[in-house]
Amino acid sequence: MCPQPETDITTARPRPESDATARPRRSRLYGLHRLLRRRLGTAIALAYAAAALLPAPGLWLRRPHPTGLSELPFSTPQLLLGLVLFGAGLQVPLRELRLLLRRPGALVAGLLLHVGAPLLILPGVALLLRQSPDRDGGSGMVAAMILVVAMPVAAGATVWTAKGDGDQPTAVGLVLASTLVSPLTVPLTLTLLCPLLRGDYAGRLADAAQTAGNAFALTSVVLPCGAGLLCRLLLPRRAAGGLVDAAVAAALPASLLLTYVNACGVLDPFLRHPRPVLLVGALAVAATVCGLSFGVGRVAVRALRLDARAGASVTLACGMNNSSASAVLITTTLPDRPHILLPVLAYGLLQKVAAGRVVRGFGGGRARLPGGLRE
């Protein structure tokens, strides 16, 4: 039997195929994917523009839809997030993942940075905001940033890792690890940072901590990514190859649609009742926290002497957080204060811009040992 054409699942790019009949099929599957990879920044900007100009479809998609089971409403954002993570799990080379677990230097470093960096960054930001004329000392902005940085590593980090030829096993491992420990790290982060808040924000964020981790983290992140890994492990080679093709082609469009859906929930009420000062403040706070998070990751990567591919994945994990989960939590726990969704939206946009710079900045590097350490 002739060997089946393989896919380079570390970089999500197709390897050359000798069978000429497979080329049209591969071209159809990867045409949109290649276009979006080349113009990802433009595509993200168009998603935000669409949310501002045509929010009605996104607002409809944000709403839970009945499935006939009251306990299981259909949620488009969770479905899209699961699709992105299923594709990421499916693309993980299992042999390299096993090597990563034997030499987990980059994985452990990325997880510690993701959890620890906010504890260094947020107190300084809160201190600066207390000097502002805001009557609550900027607690709304700080609360929004706490909810963002407490979340697991964003699923989009795996998409950006593939786009920049980063270390995909490390990226997926960081998404999985940060999610698995999120029932512990999310309440811990909120508890440690809640004293920075004034008024009733501290108490309400403490309540949010109790609902942040368990159901969302396990059902929306761990299960789809684990399902992708199991499919990769158990399916025959031919079936797994076809599934990888479909997952790679669907991951970026799903990520962009998720960006549009979440943006609609923020931009529509803001554009109806614009507050320019709030917009400027949200952009400034989000840019500060985002820039410092990526900066801490970049400095730590150099100090740890990680190679370029692992360094890109660790830096992305340090700066990219699941802002979609933060937006859902704010909507459900602070429905009377939709204005604090604005810095969450700003952070979600800025972290994608920063991610683009990261994957361009980490080029080349010396030979890589398993776990990301340089020779």
Domain 46-61+74-361 sits in CATH at 1.20.1530.20
Q: What is the pLDDT of residue 145?
A: 94
Average pLDDT over residues 338-365: 80
Query: Which token pair is 41?
Result: 């920044």
> In the chain, what percentage of residues exceed pLDDT 70?
78
Q: What is the pLDDT of residue 372?
A: 44
Total Cβ atoms within 10 A of residue 324: 24
Q: What is the pLDDT of residue 68?
A: 58
User: Which of 171-175, 183-187, 208-212 is the least confident region?
Assistant: 208-212
Q: What is the pLDDT of residue 18?
A: 42
Average pLDDT over residues 191-201: 85
DSSP summary character for residue 368: B
- With a cut of 70, say whether residue 177 has pLDDT above it: yes
Total Cβ atoms within 10 A of residue 305: 12
User: Which of 9-23, 108-122, 185-199, 325-339 is the least confident region?
Assistant: 9-23
Coil/strand/helix, residue 13:
strand
- With a cut of 60, say whether residue 193 has pLDDT above it: yes
Measured between alpha carbons, how far is 213 from 359 in angstroms, rounded to an integer? 29
Total Cβ atoms within 10 A of residue 250: 18
Q: How confident is the model at residue 67 (pLDDT cuts 50, 70, 90)?
A: low
Tens digit of each residue's pLDDT (9 = 90 or more) over 156-170: 787 788 777 677 788
Measured between alpha carbons, how far is 359 from 247 in angstroms, rounded to an integer? 21
Residue 281 or residue 361, greater confidence:
281
CB 321 within 8 A of CB 152: yes
Tens digit of each residue's pLDDT (9 = 90 or more) over 235-294: 887 777 777 777 777 777 888 888 888 788 778 777 887 888 888 989 999 999 999 999
Measured between alpha carbons, how far is 329 from 303 in angstroms, rounded to an integer? 35
Measured between alpha carbons, how far is 83 from 88 in angstroms, rounded to an integer? 9
CA nearest neighbour of 60 among 261, 313, 360: 261
Measured between alpha carbons, how far is 284 from 278 in angstroms, rounded to an integer? 10
Residue 59 or residue 291, greater confidence:
291
Place of tokens 């699709």: 83
Measured between alpha carbons, how far is 80 from 76 in angstroms, rounded to an integer? 6
Q: Which residues contact 343 (CB under 8 A, 6 or more apart)?
A: 141, 144, 145, 148, 281, 282, 285, 286
Q: How confident is the model at residue 13 (pLDDT cuts 50, 70, 90)?
A: very low
Q: What is the pLDDT of residue 320?
A: 93
